Every structure is written in C-alpha cells, then in structure tokens.
Amino acid sequence: MQSHTIESLPRGFVYGGMVAGIKKSGKLDLSLIAATGPAAAAGVYTRNLVHATSIDWCRQRTPSQEIRGVVVNSGNANACTGREGEENNQRLAALAAEKLGCHPNQILVLSTGVIGQQLPMPVLEAAFPRFPELAGTPEAFHTAADAIMTTDQGRKVASASFTHQGQTYAVAAMAKGAGMIGPNMATMLAIVTTDYPLSPNEAYTAVRFAADASFNQISVDGHTSTNDAMLLLSSAVRDEASPTDQDALWAFQQALEDCCIRCAKLIPADGEGATHLLNLHVHGTLGDSEANQVARCIANSSLVKCAIHGNDPNWGRIVSAAGYAGVDFNPNEVELRLNGHLIFANGRPEAFDAATVSRSMQAEFEVAIDLKLGPNGGSARHYASDLTVDYVRFNSEYTT
C-alpha cells in the first residue's frame, strides 16, 4: 500500500515517535502528539462494553481546554487487563506528562494491539528518557503516524487548509486500522490536530459530525474494536462566551471532514488481505439513518465481500442483504447499479454483460442502490474491503 504524506501542519503542535520495544518486530511503537500550550480537546469512543482502560481515561478527561498531549502505544491494547491495566495506563500518562512538563490529567492515552496482555512497563519506563525531540515538521508527524500502526501496510494521513478573513488555518489527521474494523463512534485510532480556534463544546460537536461522516462509514469485518477512538485537538482555545463565526466554523468542519474521509477510506483499502475497496452509495430512503442501516448491512455481508473479491457481479447478494436490513421498501421499485451499469430494476434483472461488469470490478468498485422511497430522501456512503483467503489466514494465526 502507498505510504501517504502531508505538507501543511497546524501551528502549536509538535510530534514524534520511537521504537520503545513493545513490538517484537522492532518497528515504531510509541507516539507523542503534543500541544505547545493548553489545547481544546474532544473525542468519540467505542461503544463496545468490553473496552480498553485508555477509553475510560480519555472519556473522563474530554471535552477539555487543558489538554497538553496524546500518548499512543501500539502492539498492546491494554484491554481486559483489570486493575493492573488501569495502573499501567495511569503510569503511561505520567511518563508522557513528565516528558512534556505537565500534569498526567492533561495527557490523553490511546492503546492498540493484542487484547488481554499487560503493558510492558519496564520497557516503557526505559523508553521515555530516550524519546527523540519532538518537532512541528511533516517528517516528525509522519514518524508519529507510523508509530501508531499495527497490521497496517501503510500510514494513513491527510491534511487540509482554508483561509477566512485573511487568516489561514490547517487541519492534519493521522489514523490507523486494518482489521477489527466495524466502527461504532470512531475508528481503530484517529488523532486530528488543528489551529482553528475551538471551544471544548465546539470540538465535541465537530468530532461527532466528522466521525459520522467518515470513520463510522467504513468496515473491514464488522467487528467493533475495544479500543476505537477519535480525538480532535485545537491549539487555539476559544472562549465559550465569545461569539461564533458560523462561516468560519463551517469552513473548518468541511476541512475536518475532508481529512477524516480521506483517512477513513484508506482503512478498508488497507484491510487485512484486502484487494478491493467497495464504495457503496445507498439513496432514496426516508432518511439518512435508514440509508446507513442498509449500507452497513450490505457492506458487512460476507457473501457480498466474497463476490467483490472474485469480481463476480452477483447482484442477488446485494439486493437480498438490503432486504434484511430492517428498512421497509418495495423490491419491485429498487434500482441497483454496479460501476454505473444498471443491473436490477422493476423487480427483475436487467440485461447486462457479466464479463464487462466483472472486468470493471477493479481495486475500487462502486455499488449504487436506490430504494425509491422518495426523490429527496436520505442517503449514505459506506466504504468496505472485500473478504479474502489472506484475511482468514492472517486472523486465524494472529496470536499464535
């Protein structure tokens, strides 16, 4: 997979990553994202009842206007680790706080990796004194982004900028994820930094909308992780009492969602063993929630995923998956298109050349289904990977 890069970064942040020794592979596994002063921060987190202690830690500390940094360890999820895991998470925050010269409560913690193993605290204790100097450069950002990866084949980053009343603002995002992807509030991990002024409540609203538009619209295997989290930090804290410039806030939201969507699409494209990216568009429903319901059902179907992997225009699997999604529609009015080819309409298949459609099912494959419930109805886009033999092999041997 291509390793992506960014060019512009927001003011007020520095980044870095290192090989601490958590991973047996010797790859980067410890990341720091730090604000040069107190930052506004908010997050969205997994709804899985079984979740990592880092999720509880971050939930208790966001939204906030006093956050100084995020520490991320990869290779160990620190989930299902009991009281010892909580103490280790607290110590990890304290180590990062010592490095940044702040209080542990000003540090957010994210972890990713194998469930049920304790963090190797002697390794982490020894790592922080030799942590490289943080920097506000693209190279340092890329190192931090590489250090949060586990089974990813390439880094997932995106940046955007916009100008309002002569002032230019930047947004920079990093994410990771390739397996156990069926987000329900966020993705495996994502950290977004910006220098656009935000209050904690504005940051929370922005991150929720961005997650719903991006990371909540992807899947690899439909499995919601124990560690899903998306954080948004602004180096410019805005007073809640000061008036909001709605035009500027809208421009920021568009830049934020653009970065998140680009990072989100990279996750199923990099799904473990994946060879195809499914770009699914469901429309013509009564509302967006119904469209999302149908899209998620189709995208998570193992039979649909297998057909896409084999370049097989087996449209019946797609239509039938829509039918059990729990949304009421008339099958005789549905239209289905595969890469622009009309495949199914008026309750029966249309004449199409299967070989031509199969050849069109390359790395990124578009499916559009119109449920015809209203001309101005709801819609949803969902991105998913195919299901391959390599995915099954990889995940059958993950810990052994």
Q: 244 catalytic, yes or no? A: no
State the DSSP string of 157-170: EEEEEEEETTEEEE
Q: Which residues contact 129 (CB under 8 A, 6 or more apart)?
A: none
Measured distance CA(348)–CA(346) in Å, rounded: 6
Beta strands 156-164 and 364-370 are: unpaired
For 39-98, the DSSP string reads EEEEEEE---SS-BHHHHHHHHH-SEEEEEEEEEEEEE--BS-HHHHHHHHHHHHHHHHH
Encoded tokens for 54: 């880092």
Q: Among 81, 112, 151, 187, which one carries the catalytic annotation? A: 187
Helix or strand or coil: residue 379?
Answer: strand
Residues 6+ apart with CB under 8 A from 169: 10, 161, 162, 163, 194, 195, 196, 252, 255
d(CA 383, CA 266): 9
Instruction: Give the burial class of 243: count Cβ atoms within 10 A of its Cβ; 0-12 exposed, 13-18 middle, 19 or more buried.
Output: exposed
Catalytic residues: 187
